[in-house]
Structures are given as C-alpha cells and as structure tokens.
Chain A
C-alpha cells in the first residue's frame, strides 16, 4: 500500500462587495535542466560566470550556426515526465516562437508548441495531513531560455548578457486545478521537491532556475464544478497571466491582489481582458505589460533547423528503471513502516538528504518514532538555530542513533539525553564514551534513590504533611530528588518511591 488517502481542500473564496468569489489558477513552471552544457550548443550553463563568456556562436545566433540537441536534456525531460506520472511522447518536434527582444538574438525561441515531449500527468499537492489537491499536468515541453537584460547600470542603456541564452528549460504546464494562493505555493513546492528528488533541476528559485507564470481567473461558486464536468472553459472567468514569479511569497500575494482586481472590475459591471501582467511587490499591485501584448503574436511554425525528436521506448524504460523513490511513496512508506504520523513523515521526506539521514538513524537505533522525534525536534531545531542545513550537521546519524540507544536501554534519562546531544553537537565524540566518562548514567539503583527520597522527606516535615493531604504536591518531592541526583535518577522509579514513601 503506497498511497495515503486524502480529502480535497476547500477552495479559497474572496468576498467581494456583492458576492463571494472562487479562484481558479493554472501554472506554467519553468525549470532549468540540471545539465552542464546548453540545449543546442556546447557552452556551459554555469551560473555567475563573467558576462557573455558562456556563449557559443549558436547562442549568439551568428549566421550559419545550427543547433544540435543535448541528449542529456531530453533524458531529463523524460525523467521529469515519468516522475509526474505522465505519458511520454516517443515523437515530438520543435517550433519557433517569434518575437523581438534584445536578449533573444535569434529573434525566436525554439520551443515545442504542437508536439511536446511529455503529455498528461498529475501531481498530488499536500496541504496538511490527510488533505491534498490532485493537480493535472497538461504537458511538459523543452525550450530555450532567453538571456538577461540589466537595466540599472546606465540611465540610457540596457546591458545584455547572453550566458543564459539557450540554457535548457522544461516548461511544466498545469491544468487550472489550483484553487487558492496557498495551493499555488504548495504546488510549486511539490514540483520543486519532485524535481530535486529526480535530480533534473536544482530548484534554486533565487537564481531563477525555477520560476512560474501564474494564470488567475475568478468565478462564482458552482462554476468550477461545471467546468470540471464539461472541460468547457466558458464556465470560468477570463484569465490574466502574471509573468515570471520566482518567490513563493510573492506568488501568493500576486494571486490575491490580482483576484481582488478582477472582482472589483466584474462587480462594477466591467469585463476582465485577457492579458499579461507583472506583479510589483513594492506597490502590491499587478500592472499590464501592454507593450508586450501586440509583440506577442508569436507566429509559431515548425523549426526548419531541427528534425522531429524521435526516442525509443526501450530508452524510456531504461530511464524509468533509474527513478528514485518519489516523495509520495517515501512518505507513505515512512508512515507504514516506521509508524510515523503523516506530518512527521512529510517533514522528513521534504528533502532526500533528510529522509536518508532519518532512515540511517532509525535503522541503527531500531526505533522509528524515537528517531523521528530526535531528528525533527532536536537535530532540525538545533540546526535551524544556527542557520545550518542537514548537510553540515555536526552530528552524524550514527552518533544520534547512539544517543537514542542509550535512552532505549534506560542508561540515560530523556533529560540527560538532551544534555548529551548538546555535548555531541558542540564537541563531537562517541555518545557511549561520553556518558561513561562524565558519569551521566541514570541511577536505577532503587536503594540510592530511596536514600535520596528519605533525606528530602526528613528535611521537610511541613511539606510532607501538606502532600499527605494533597497527593498532587508529591511532584515537589520528585523535583527535589531529581535536583539532588543531578537529574540522573530514573524519573519513573523516583515517582514510584516518592508515592510509596508519602503513603507510609
């Protein structure tokens, strides 16, 4: 049983002046393929190089230069398609999307409009334990990225760097199945997680390696259900596309702002015009990119420089064999095999490296739940405090498992274990040896505990009287005994003995 069951989240509604409105969102995610060389040239894709140094004559669109496709990029698109449970098209083709912009020297982008390499798939977007949205993927195609324009170096000029020109992108197009700003952010997060599991894109949003165009429209309650029944878009409102978003926070803000703008227009009796807009986070508004509207009559046609891309089923099968365990399956397995809560399983499977770390701890310590607690609460908490990631954890899985084993064998108490963890975190060392060397072992010798209890009782006759009248006050004695033993007494034993002695 690999699937966890889930319910569908309630769509976000925004109250207008007259009606309540629902949101309908579709996304185009552009993911940079994690390749060394570009899609159609042998220039490097390395980020942060000197301007125009990662440029081949093909990328600069010098006359007579012809594109030759990078097989690895094709493989990554197929891999991504398989990871999104999508159909793979053995035959696809490239088209030219024509427009003029200084950072596009060819005057067209090579893309796949008519015959994309990947067809319909799906992704399960987790919102909270037991609640998730199934978002349909319409297609994934391969295309070239454009260059970068810098506008703030000179008052009258724009500066163009072609290093990014021709880098391979996968455009992942969803159906309009996303129903609110939070779902949109969760969708991007899930796509990013899957891409990182697959290794096909590093998911770095800050560098622009993962960015999204967001299509937003509004509708009255019930309209979306009619669309789902018929797949007829006329049941939905006119959509606007917000371009080029690379922050989850801004994506959410932009959707909210854009939906409210559309609601105001429609409630005032106006009409939303389909257009491309840009989100301005400083002003908290979306603006029409009017100058781009007319220019974006793309006049697509098949690229005469490239034959159709034909791949073999055996190759696709070979790629399928190398797919890793994906987030949904891993999460379900953690819930099933280790008895974790779905929430804990989600936290641990967010990144492959965290999941692997946890599994090493759990298998060595022989206790999944305890391992999950320690990895999530102590280790992640401590790492976060110092802004470290799991990669730089000073505590190894073996060390953490060692601490957990000491708890399980009742050698140390939970409280002492936290002190031990701190020592291992800051100083390193073998947990067993540290406990031995620093006398941190738990006192389970009832004789010693009894002696400590007797001493405290003898010294506090007034407290004893009160505790006899009110058994809840026994806790005070337990605390005193723990203090007297430096926290090393077994708390369970102390509780029992205190209760017994107070009764006598």
Chain B
C-alpha cells in the first residue's frame, strides 16, 4: 500500500488537521513508513484463526435501563467556548 500526496491531503482534511502543502510529501512518507511496518503482519498465516478482539477473558458489560445521569447542563456546558441559553453556540452550519 502506498500513500501519495493527494491521499495524505485528503486524510488530513477528513481529520480536520491543517497541513501546509509543503509539509505533505513528508507526511505521505511517514504514512508509508508506518503502513509498511504494519504490513509485515501480512506474512503471518491466519487462515482459520478467529480474530481476537480482546486479551482479557471478558464479555461486554451491560447495564439496566435506568436513568442515573444527566440534569447537569451547567457542567456539560462549562468548557464550551460559547454557550447561550443552555445551548452550545457554534458558527452557523446549515445546508
């Protein structure tokens, strides 16, 4: 797998990370180094091996349908750069 400059720019945009044009070649190269390293795993034969999702012998924990949280709008909004009348206020986003 090879990441070119256009792909690096696209990934940066999707992740909302600003990358200047002149930094893109180096970024693409870093991606390639990382992916190349990971690709070594392809050498392992995993035919018939079930994917392991956790190293601990645990099952997904479940909870009952009970309201135990909420009623704390001031805490939820505390770190908001802008909040008005109980809402988060953000620059206009509209289709």
Output the least CB separation between A456 and chain B (Å). Answer: 72
Pairwise interchain contact B92-A53, C-beta atoms closer than 8 A: no
B72 at the interface (CB under 8 A from A): yes
Interface residue from A36, A161, A291, A297 paired with B87 (Cβ < 8 Å) = A161
Give the residue name and chain of the B residue nearest to A99 (CB).
Answer: B14
- Given A68-B61, A98-B14: 17 more A-B contacts, CB < 8 Å: A36-B66, A42-B68, A50-B86, A52-B77, A52-B86, A53-B73, A55-B72, A69-B60, A70-B63, A72-B64, A151-B93, A151-B94, A160-B90, A297-B10, A307-B53, A308-B60, A310-B60
Residue of B nearest to A157 (CB): B89
Is A149 close to B, CB under 8 A?
A: yes
Tell yes or no: A162 within 8 A of B by CB.
yes
Provide the A44-86 mask, 1 if CB < 8 A to any CB of B, else 0.
Answer: 1000001111111110100000001111111000000000000
Given A158-B93, A159-B87, A299-B14, does the pair A52, B65 have CB atoms closer than 8 Å? no
Q: Which residue of B lies closest to A291 (CB)?
A: B95
Tell yes or no: A233 within 8 A of B by CB: no
Given contacts A50-B86, A299-B14, contact A55 B60 (CB under 8 A): no
Given the complex, which residues of B lie within 8 Å of A57, measured CB to CB? 69, 75-76
Contacts of A41 in B (CB 8 A): 69
Could you tell me the distance in whole angstroms from the C-beta of B66 to the nearest C-beta in chain A? 6
User: Cα distance A154–B82 when bound, in Å?
Assistant: 13
CA distance A72 to B84 in the complex (A): 35
Q: Pick the contact of A37: B67, B77, B92 (CB < 8 A).
A: B67
How many Å lie between the Cα of A57 and that of B72 in the bound state?
9
CB pair A60–B76 under 8 Å, yes or no, is: yes
Whether B18 is near chain A, meaning CB under 8 Å from some CB there, is no
**In the bound complex, do residue B94 and residue A42 qualify as a contact, i.e. CB atoms below 8 Å apart?**
no
In the complex, 17 of the A-B residue pairs with CB atoms within 8 angstroms, ordered by the A residue number, are A42-B68, A56-B70, A68-B63, A69-B60, A71-B62, A73-B65, A150-B87, A151-B92, A154-B84, A154-B92, A157-B84, A157-B89, A161-B87, A289-B95, A307-B60, A308-B60, A310-B59
Q: Which residues of B contact A43 (CB under 8 A)?
A: 67, 69-70
> A208: CB under 8 A from chain B?
no
Report the nearest B residue to A102, measured CB to CB.
B90
Contacting pair A53 B85 (CB below 8 A)? no
With A52-B86, A297-B14, A309-B60 as given contacts, are A158 and B94 in contact (CB-CB < 8 Å)? yes
A101 at the B interface (CB under 8 A): yes
In the complex formed, the residue of A with least CB distance to B73 is A52
Whether the pair A102, B14 counts as a contact (CB closer than 8 A) is: no
In the complex, the answer to whether B68 meets A37 with C-beta atoms within 8 Å is: yes
Query: Is A295 an interface residue, CB under 8 A from the partner?
Result: yes
Interface residues of chain A, those whose CB is within 8 Å of chain B, are 35-37, 41-44, 50-58, 60, 68-74, 93, 98, 100-102, 149-151, 153-162, 278, 289, 291-292, 294-295, 297, 299, 302, 306-310
The minimal Cβ–Cβ distance linking B45 to chain A, given in whole angstroms, is 22
B residues near A (Cβ < 8 Å) are 10, 13-14, 16, 53-54, 58-73, 75-77, 82, 84-95
Instruction: Assess the B62–A74 pair: CB atoms within 8 A.
Output: yes
A51-B73, A151-B92, A157-B89 known; A36 vs B53 contact (CB < 8 Å) = no
Give min CB distance, A298 to chain B, whole Å. 9
Given the known inter-chain contacts A55-B76, A70-B63, A71-B65, please indicate yes or no for A160 contacting B87, CB distance below 8 A. Answer: yes
Report which residue of B53, B62, B70 has the largest number of chain A beta carbons within 10 angstroms of its beta carbon: B70
Q: A155 to B60, alpha carbons, bound, how many Å?
A: 45
Query: A149 with B66: in contact, given A52-B86, A307-B59 (CB under 8 Å)?
Result: no
**A159 contacts which of B53, B68, B84 (Cβ < 8 Å)?**
B84
CB-based contact A72/B65 at 8 Å: yes
- Which residues in A have their C-beta under 8 angstroms from that of B61? 68-69
A35 to B62, CA, bound (A): 14
**CA of A352 to CA of B68, assembled, Å:** 32
> A68 vs B87: C-alpha distance in the bound complex, in angstroms?
26
Residues of B within 8 A of A307 (CB): 53-54, 58-60
If A53-B71, A307-B54 touch, does A157 touch B62 (CB 8 Å cutoff)?
A: no
User: Which A residues lie within 8 Å of B84 (CB)?
Assistant: 154, 157, 159
Q: Are B62 and A308 in contact (CB under 8 A)?
A: no
B residues near A291, Cβ cutoff 8 Å: 95
Q: How far apart sit A306 and B58, CA to CA, in the bound complex (Å)?
A: 11
Contact of A149 with B93 in the complex, beta carbons under 8 Å:
yes
Docked complex Cα distance between A310 and B57 (Å): 13
Instruction: Return A117 CB to nearest CB of chain B, in Å.
Output: 12
* Complex interface: chain A residues within 8 A of B67 (CB): 36-37, 42-44
Contacts of B63 in A (CB 8 A): 42, 68-71
Residues B93 and A306 in contact, CB atoms below 8 Å apart: no
What residues of chain B lie closer than 8 Å to A60, measured between beta carbons?
Answer: 76
Nearest CB of chain B from residue A288's CB, rounded to whole Å: 10
A42-B59 in contact (CB<8A)? no
CA of A156 to CA of B89, assembled, Å: 10
Name the residue on B nearest A58 (C-beta): B69
* Identity of the chain A residue whose Cβ is nearest the Cβ of B84 in the assembled complex: A159
Give the docked Cα–Cα distance between A399 and B69 (Å). 47
Let me know if A42 and B69 touch, CB within 8 A. Answer: yes
Enumerate chain A residues within 8 angstroms of B70, measured Cβ to Cβ.
Answer: 42-44, 53-56
The answer to whether A100 and B60 touch (CB under 8 A), given A35-B65, A51-B87, A161-B87, is: no
Min Cβ gap A197→B in Å is 20
Residues of chain B contacted by A102 (CB below 8 angstroms): 88, 90, 93
Give A74 to B59 CA distance when docked, in angstroms. 15
Which among A44, A69, A71, A159 has the greatest number of chain B C-beta atoms within 10 A?
A: A159
